[in-house]
Amino acid sequence: MPELPEVEVSRLGITPYLEQQTVAKVNIHHKQLRWPIPDEVALLEGQVIQRVQRRAKYLLLESAPGTLVLHLGMSGHLKVLPAGTPLVKHDHFELITAAGQSLRLNDTRRFGCVLWQTDDNPLSQLAHLGPEPLSDAFTDDHLFTHSRGRQASVKTFIMDNKVVVGVGNIYANEALFMSGIDPRRAAGRISKARYLKLTQAIRLVLARAIEQGGTTLKDFSRTDGQPGYFAQELAVYGQAGKPCPQCERPLSEARIGQRNTIFCKRCQT
């Protein structure tokens, strides 16, 4: 599943083709995704896409009448192709610009979404999201303050989008390892000093992932639709049973919140 860095790299990839471009046509090739694509998306036709933004894992294409909201789900990806390029299987949604570019959402499992919101009718999916982890709103004491009294594991806590957005499974594993915190520990029983280390680790692993993805992002307009995702340099995720990068003890694996969790019993306490 694309996580926040991959979605941000997608935003960087599509922006040069869409921002300040006029939408000539909107085509719905398969209406039923995670939610039905609303008819209001046709309001984009004839409008200029003013900005391409991201909120959590949602991409926001802003225009005067409203905002087109895209989510890649578990298997979705975006591709930019010359208008008129033949469709391929699972191309469900298409936006064609007056400049002759076609933005397409391809989603095998159809868990992604294409939605519409206006200032008067904002989406409930975006209403209760926590701060962006790379923004000033994610303060040094944010996690500590919101963790008090929480009995859930710290890994579950930092993956809660109401607490902070975009810390998916991969980066939760990595940040907890970097900060030396056992992912099984109760969120409410971790000190302020340790939460400061975790906050810094979350910022670092996400920023590094975006930077690495950006450095490989040469041309989003490719037939496979893949925006040059970085080769991830992961310390623990997917490394169960292999030597810990710090102490060389075999890394342990647990199931937390129905997600695989890899950690070092010696280095993470």
The domain limits of the chain are 4-124, 142-263
Query: What pLDDT score was predicted for residue 231?
Result: 53
| DSSP per-residue letters across the chain | ---HHHHHHHHHHHHHHHTTPBEEEEEES--BSSSBPPGGGGGGTT-B--EEEEETTEEEEE-SS-EEEEE-TTTEEEEEEETTPPP-TTEEEEEEETTSEEEEEEESS---EEEEE-SSS--GGGTT----TTSTTS-TTHHHHHHTT--SBHHHHHT-TTTSS---HHHHHHHHHHHT--TTSBGGGS-HHHHHHHHHHHHHHHHHHHHHHHHT-S-S--TT----------SSTT-TTSBPTTT-PBPEEEEETTEEEEE-TTT--
pLDDT at 95 over 60: yes
Check if 155 is active-site.
no
Instruction: Quote the CA–CA distance of 263 and 235 in Å, as a whole number.
Output: 10
Q: Which of 203, 208, 259, 265 is catalytic?
A: 259
Q: Is the model's pLDDT at 225 over the cut of 70?
A: no
- The reply to whether 29 sits in an annotated binding site is no
Q: What is the CA radius of gyration of the chain?
A: 20
Candidate list 57, 79, 104, 155, residue with the active-site label: 57
Residue 2 known to be catalytic: yes
Q: Catalytic residue at 3? A: yes
Tens digits of per-residue pLDDT, 137-187? 999 999 999 999 999 999 999 999 999 999 999 999 999 999 999 999 999
User: What is the amino acid identity at position 234?
Assistant: L
d(CA 209, CA 229): 9
Neighbour-count burial for 76-95, b at 16+ CB within 10 Å, e otherwise: bbbbbbeeeeeeeebbbbbb
Q: Are 184 and 149 in contact (CB under 8 A)?
A: no
Whether the pLDDT of residue 254 is over 90: the answer is yes
Q: What is the pLDDT of residues 173-205, one digit of tens each?
A: 999 999 999 999 999 999 999 999 999 999 999
Q: How far, rounded to the nearest angstrom, does the alpha carbon of residue 120 sit from its chain's CA centroid?
A: 26
* pLDDT for the residue 2: 78
Active-site residue flag, 250: no
Comparing CA positions, the residue from 24, 210, 15, 30 lying closest to residue 105 is 30
> How far apart are alpha carbons 28 and 37 in whole angstroms?
8
- In total, the chain counts a number of residues equal to 269
The CA-based dihedral angle spanning residues 163, 51, 100, 211, taken in that order and rounded to the nearest 10 degrees: -50
What's the pLDDT score for residue 234?
87
* pLDDT level of residue 110 (50, 70, 90 thresholds): very high
Tokens of 53: 């933004």
- Looking at 3.20.20.80, 1.10.8.50, 3.40.630.30, 3.40.50.2020, the CATH number of the domain 142-263 comes to 1.10.8.50
CATH topology of domain 4-124: N-terminal domain of MutM-like DNA repair proteins (3.20.190)
**Per the residue annotation, which of 3, 6, 94, 174 is the catalytic one?**
3
For 47, the token pair is 């409008």
76: which strand partners? Answer: 107
Is 185 assigned a ligand-binding role in the annotation? no
The alpha carbon of 71 is separated from its chain's Cα centroid by a whole number of angstroms, namely: 9
